[in-house]
Chain A
Amino acid sequence: QTVVTQEPSLTVSPGGTVTLTCASSTGAVTSGYHANWFQQKPGQPPRSLIYSTSNKHSWTPARFSGSLLGGKAALTLSGVQPEDEAEYYCLLYYPGRVFGGGTKLTVL
């Protein structure tokens, strides 16, 4: 059973920078896993931010960026805003798709 692991929680100050990571139990995450990142706020459906490792949608704020870092997929928020406080999920493609457990980001 494939497991995708994220940090359970992170805290960042407004204006700061934070990196969330996404690891696979099968080994290093590569571009072939087409990592996706989603943001979810309470009571709302998830919203896609990043697809295929580093590609942004038209609605994705410029302060969000995706990359591969040390064998993991990574989501970096630069210049964090209070409204970025949310749960963030990564998704990796295997045969099928597997979500990570989510990272609760607190802006404090």
Chain B
Amino acid sequence: AQTVTQSQPEMSVQEAETVTLSCTYDTSESDYYLFWYKQPPSRQMILVIRQEAYKQQNATENRFSVNFQKAAKSFSLKISDSQLGDAAMYFCAYRSASNSGYALNFGKGTSLLVTP
């Protein structure tokens, strides 16, 4: 089974600053998808950004971008111009593209605190 590791249980960033959340994963597959989800306190898990492994170009969504390093099996999330509303748990997730399973394999999450 693929494992996803988020080595930072907690991170803190000042408003308007940039923060990078780390994620590494272990797989023997060549085709897969990677996701970052955001879960605000007591609120819904929301998709932040998605990356297909066969694409070399890093995905971006407004202030959110990823640094996808396939050889290193690394998938970090960069949040630029951080806002108070970015405070949440952030989960990195892996999904096989080969129909060997339908699960999203999640990391344990990184709690992001945004300070004024």
Q: Do A and B come from one complex?
A: no
Please give the residue numbers on chain B whose beta carbons come within 8 Å of chain A beta carbons, in ascending order.
Answer: none
Please give the residue numbers on chain A whose beta carbons come within 8 Å of chain B beta carbons, in ascending order.
Answer: none
